[in-house]
Amino acid sequence: MKLKSAIKQSLAKKILIYMILLMLISSFIISVVTYDSAKKELDEKGKIILKNAATSAKAVIDSYDETIRMGIITREEAEEDIKRKLMGHLQADGSRKIEADMDLGENGYLLIYNSEGLEIMHPRLEGLNMWDVVDPINQDYYIVREQIKAAKAGGGFVYYNWEYPESDKIGKKVTYNLYDENWDWVIAAGSYIDDFDDGANIIIRYILVITVVVMLLGGLMSYWFINQMVSPIHKVVMAMKKVGRGDFEPINEMPSEDETGVLIRGFNQMVASIKTANEELVNQANRITYLAYNDVLSGLPNRNRFRTHVNNQIELGCEQAYFVLLDIKDFKMINSIVGTQMGDQIIAAVGTAFNAHADTCEMIARSSGNEFVIWIERDSIKALEERLNLFEKQFKEQLLSLKIYQRIKFHMAVVKYPTQGADFNQLISRVSIAMKYAKEDSYQRTIYFEEYMESAIENNVVMKEELESALKEDQFKIAYQEKVSTQTNRVEGVEALSRWHSDIFGTVSPVVFIPAINQSQLTVKFGYYVVKKALNDYPKLVQKYGEHVTISINISPILFLEEHFLIEMKQFMNQYQIPRERLILEITEDIFINDFDLVQNRIESLKGMGILIALDDFGTGYSSLNYLTNMSINELKIDKTFIDRILTDEKTWILFETLTKMAKAYNYKVVAEGVETNDQLVKVKEAGIDMVQGYIFSKPSFLNEEEL
Ligand code: C2E
Ligand code: MG
Ligand code: MG
């Protein structure tokens, strides 16, 4: 029990001090009042004694009157006799000894003057005239004159200051004075007031002793009592301190029924409520902290935590690392094919696959929807590639274990620390630029950041501005590439491919300017512009290739789904007099991310107008057979990337062959794009391909024969 705790002490001390002060004040008042009344009482008694003494002395004097009158004794003899009785014998030195049996206090005695102030009886001053004697303190006060005055007035008290016998000390004196006319004497009984007050001093001494004892006892009792009172408060204070340190323990005590009991019970209830609220808070805080640094879906760290990790590694002196941005290719499409639940599993699988071989310095985090950031500390690109290969291998296994058989690819962009980015912000900004390039390049898995990319992005801004005026000024041209029949070598149709020659950028590939057009919200305007331009060329194409020739135009999903698309196309067909089944619109698989039924309805309506539909770039996206079986398309264009692998990759070849057979079974024409070599031509023919569009026959060219 630490009774000396600061708070308790201060409270106990205060009460103790108050109580002692209270006792002191009351003792002081009691002492003063008692002393004062005792003193007054003693003074009164003393005065009565003096009065009695003076009266008795007068009676003694008067008793001599008769004997003198009878001549038994002379007046002189009587005078001496009286003095002996009232005081004592005359000494040889002229003084008179105080022998009378009369208690007027320690220094009290009787005096006699005559009415002229002559000392008749005095221990030392007999025979002296005291008429002019003044009070030693108050020099205007003639003592004996006052005494004579009081005596003659019928008797009275006179107060004055006078020296103590055989001492220089001055004390306050009082005399009772009576006048005897027969003798012409003033009889004064006097004493020092202090002599009477001695009793009061004794009383005050007693009072002081009692006060000290009472104070000691009172102090001890108060201390005990205060402790009893303060102890529960002390317990509450200690328990509150514990609460402050997060220890929510109640006070284990059977509380009494008084206010302290109410205090302790109330405190315990309060602590219980705070404990619950605190637990709730801690849980919420943990959850908030978790959410602040983790991604709920994948259980991976989020960008915040990743940033902290990268900064820490840099601070710890990491010498070389690679900052990788990883994007799951066509994730929207995957989600629409496999469903969002499986999509979520794929996201989680990325983290699991990477972490299966991650060392303590490495970290993968989910930065947004289908994007991840990775920190890999390796000292060469070769070592990095090995690590990424290992990750991809692990990822494939992970997907198989989840029974996900979809082929999933990544775009990966890489920036090197510290040479290409010294801090997190620079690294993320540069790796994002590299990612733009990675997304445009379907051939390479990993794109490494290079300085030119940064300036190209800046160029892109200028390009967007330029494109609008290019449209107004009709700077675009259409090149046509032939589609040749594998059986007859006849040109069955041509594909319209846009070309832009800019004064600033020179000749720009559609791979570059088509995305810029989309970003500038010029897609619809540009789309109709190309359609009109191509259809306008149609008579020339017929002239060149014959009436059977078809014209294929690439249509972006935005244009295809534009509100007025069907009406516009109908109008163009009439305006340019295009016969049925000569216009082919090329769409790509990503159009099916949108409302499947809407797309299907549009295809049906276009068919009704005699327009044919080709599915372009097959083999680059998700090549879902679903579209082949459910969509009423007319032509399947197999992408160059696919054709490039049929000679070298057995699996691709088998897939290619099967696909061609299947498409033919559904009555689609199958076109092989990007055939460049004779070997490829032989192979595509072997698979039963209907048409080839590739450099082996012709490159895209303008109608005036100008080659690009
Ligand atoms: P695409 O529709 O698949 O067009 C075929 C692309 O393959 C063309 O590239 C063509 O020049 C190229 N090509 C054909 N045969 C060969 C070959 O043997 N070897 C090589 N290396 N390439 C070959 P291009 O003209 O650069 O166009 C690229 C893409 O830009 C097109 O791919 C198309 O998706 C898009 N595009 C072009 N013009 C337009 C347009 O007017 N509107 C829209 N929406 N997209 C367009
Ligand atoms: Mg095309
Ligand atoms: Mg294509």
Burial profile 358-369: b = 16 or more Cβ within 10 angstroms, e = fewer: beeebbbbbbee
Dist. CA 668 → ligand 3 center (Å): 16
Residue 501 CA to residue 437 CA, distance in Å, equals 22
Amino acid at site 429: S
Q: With beta carbons less than 8 A apart as the criterion, state whether 464 and 444 touch.
A: no
| Residue scoring higher pLDDT (244 or 672) | 672
CB burial of residue 577 (10 Å; 0-12, 13-18, 19+)? exposed
Nearest residue (by CA) to ligand 1, atom 45, is: 554
Ligand 1 atom, smallest distance to 588 CA: 34
CA-to-CA separations, 68 to 8, 351, 494, in angstroms, rounded: 88, 147, 184
Res. 707 pLDDT band, cuts 50 70 90: very low
Dist. CA 471 → ligand 3 center (Å): 24
Q: With beta carbons less than 8 A apart as the criterion, state whether 356 and 347 touch.
A: no
User: How many CB atoms neighbour CB 511 within 10 A?
Assistant: 10
Q: Residue 630: CB within 6 Å of ligand 1?
A: no
Retrieve residue 685's tokens.
């023919």
Residue corresponding to tokens 């390479």: 444
What are the residues whose beta carbons fall under 8 Å from the beta carbon of 647, sequence distance 6 or more? 653, 679, 680, 683
- 611 closest CA partner among 540, 555, 667, 544: 555
DSSP state letters, 198-251 = HHHHHHHHHHHHHHHHHHHHHHHHHHHHHHHHHHHHHHHHHHHHHHHTT--PPP
Q: What does the longest C-alpha to C-alpha distance in the chain come to?
A: 201
Q: Residue 20: CB within 6 Å of ligand 1?
A: no
Query: What element of type H or E holds 74?
Result: none
Residues 527-545 have a mean pLDDT of 97
Residue 61 predicted with pLDDT over 80: yes
Dist. CA 599 → ligand 3 center (Å): 19
User: How many CB atoms neighbour CB 431 within 10 A?
Assistant: 27
For the sheet with 371-376, list strands across it.
363-368, 371-376, 321-328, 410-417, 446-448
Query: What's the pLDDT tens digit per position in 491-501?
Result: 999 999 999 99
Retrieve residue 407's tokens.
């082929």
Residue length, the chain? 708
- pTM (2 decimals)? 0.49
Res. 601 pLDDT band, cuts 50 70 90: very high
Residues 202-213 have a mean pLDDT of 79
What are the residues whose beta carbons fall under 8 Å from the beta carbon of 321, sequence distance 6 or more? 313, 361, 375, 376, 377, 378, 416, 417
- 143 closest CA partner among 166, 173, 122: 173
Residue 257 predicted with pLDDT over 80: no
Nearest residue (by CA) to ligand 1, atom 17, is: 674
- The DSSP symbol for 164 reads P
Residue 3 predicted with pLDDT over 50: no
Residues with CB under 5 A from ligand 2 (ion): 554, 586, 616
**Rounded CA Rg of the chain:** 64
User: How many CB atoms neighbour CB 584 within 10 A?
Assistant: 24
pLDDT of residue 559: 95
- Planar angle of CA 184, 185, 186, nearest 5 degrees: 130
Residue 212 predicted with pLDDT over 90: no
Query: What's the pLDDT tens digit per position in 143-198?
Result: 999 999 999 999 999 999 988 877 788 888 899 999 999 899 999 999 888 887 77
For the sheet with 109-114, list strands across it.
119-121, 109-114, 185-192, 170-180, 156-163
- Planar angle of CA 233, 236, 242, nearest 5 degrees: 145
DSSP state letters, 403-421 = T--S---EEEEEEEETTT-
**Beta strands 410-417 and 669-673, pairing class:** unpaired
Q: Residue 589: CB within 6 Å of ligand 1?
A: no
CA-to-CA separations, 70 to 435, 562, 570, in angstroms, rounded: 158, 168, 181
pLDDT of residue 624: 63
Hey, is 366 helix, strand or coil? strand
Query: What element of type H or E holds 35?
Result: helix 6-69
Residues 511-531 have a mean pLDDT of 92
Q: Residue 619: CB within 6 Å of ligand 1?
A: no
What are the residues whose beta carbons fall under 8 Å from the beta carbon of 371, sequence distance 6 or more? 325, 326, 327, 328
Helices 303-315/424-440 angle, 10° precision: 120
Residue 128 CA to residue 141 CA, distance in Å, equals 19
Residue 387 predicted with pLDDT over 90: yes
For the chain, how many helices (H) and strands (E)?
Answer: 20, 19
Query: What element of type H or E holds 692?
Result: strand 691-693
- 414 closest CA partner among 451, 374, 378, 377: 374
- 25 closest CA partner among 222, 217, 215: 215
Residue 157 CA to residue 15 CA, distance in Å, equals 51
Phi, then psi, of 689 in degrees rounded to 5: -65, 140
Residue 35 predicted with pLDDT over 60: yes
Query: What's the pLDDT tens digit per position in 619-633?
Result: 776 556 666 777 789
Residue 683 predicted with pLDDT over 60: yes
Query: How high does pLDDT run on average in the chain?
Result: 87
Give whichever of 116-130, 327-341, 603-617 has the largest mean pLDDT: 603-617
Hey, is 36 helix, strand or coil? helix
Query: What's the pLDDT tens digit per position in 284-309?
Result: 777 777 777 777 788 889 888 999 99
Give whichever of 94-103, 268-277, 594-603, 616-625 has the largest mean pLDDT: 594-603
Residues 461-486 have a mean pLDDT of 92
Res. 107 pLDDT band, cuts 50 70 90: confident
End-to-end CA gap in the chain: 99
CB burial of residue 154 (10 Å; 0-12, 13-18, 19+)? exposed
Q: Residue 21: CB within 6 Å of ligand 1?
A: no
Give the mutation target among 495, 498, 554, 637 for probing the ligand 1 site: most ligand atoms within 8 A of CB: 554
Ligand 1 atom, smallest distance to 511 CA: 30
